[in-house]
Amino acid sequence: MQQGDQAFRRGETRGRWPEMTYGGALSFLRRSYSRDLAGVDVVVSGVPFDASVTNRPGCRFGPAAIRAASTQLAELKAFPFGFDPFETLSVIDWGDCMIDPHHPMSVAPAIEAHADAILASGARMLTLGGDHSISYPLLKAHAKKYGPIALLQFDAHCDTWEDDGKRLDHGTMFARAAAEGVIDVSRSTQLGLRTFNDHDHGFEILTAPWLHRNGIDAALDLLRDRAGDAPVYLSFDIDGLDPAFAPGTGTPVAGGLASWQALELVRGLGELNLVGMDVVEVSPPYDHAEITAIAAATVAHDWLCLLAREAGAAPREVGRL
């Protein structure tokens, strides 16, 4: 039986080998590194960019940290799903999108072109950031393929502050995307917000206090009804979690979601038309014991499990779920 270093040795895009959780070549969930997109269901790639942050930097190191934190999730069948998602899904780790931070205005076009090429193959994308500005070119690429996107945004911040159409800023890009018709705000929901903006730009906003008071089921009912059958892009800013659960981020805000709340919400999205996801704003220099990176890796892993279940993976429930 083949064992170890499956990130570069296995070659196959389904299944997995035995691997030491604390050793071996790192890729996201031990998927094979590849640029061959033939027959691939999901492409994981990193965008190590953080030049548009407004407070603490460091999320350029996010993709590497999330990959490292994913090793235990590749060891056993997925919880609570009860299956190995990679028996059903063909998933590769593409590596990182090549960007030139010394020509900052070239960054967004480079990310968009990167996404265009992957989406043209028929694969879906799971992107590891990087700061939240990377979502704008990713959404533009997805809208070219699917039409206006229903955005499902986990965040402490609205990211819809005033935008002049030129700024490189991780707090304004969704206002720009909405104005350009990239996002269908009538189908979009923001969850976990706990900062203020005078304008909602048409988004449904479920603040963190509202979620704490009303619970998971009420939130899922609202966002499912709003999204309907629209193509849904999930953008998960790790600062949507409370700093107690995600200290490793650039703009932490008290009063956020607990890890269990975010995971329950993500696990409840399986009825939606999920077309893409990013996990952003993990800043390892401010993390403790990898808890932020572990949360990010788990959210991304669970989104893949939703796709595997959609593709026919049979769940097996153990215990009271």
At 189, give phi and psi (nearest 5°): -135, 140
The DSSP call for residue 243 is T
Residue 266 corresponds to which tokens in the numbers above? Answer: 């993500």
Rounded Cα distance between 237 and 235, Å, is 6
159 is in an annotated binding site: yes
157 is in an annotated binding site: yes
155 is in an annotated binding site: yes
Please state at what angle helix 216-227 crosses helix 259-267, rounded to 10 degrees. 40
Please check whether residue 149 is in contact with residue 232, taking contact to mean a CB–CB distance below 8 angstroms. yes
Residue 206 corresponds to which tokens in the numbers above? Answer: 């479920």
The DSSP call for residue 314 is P
239 is in an annotated binding site: yes
Q: Which amino acid is at 10?
A: R
Collect all residues with Cβ–Cβ distance below 8 Å to 84 and sequence separation of at least 6: 15, 16, 77, 78, 313
114 is in an annotated binding site: no
Q: Specify binding-site residues.
A: 132, 155, 157, 159, 237, 239
Q: Specify binding-site residues for Mn(2+).
A: 132, 155, 157, 159, 237, 239
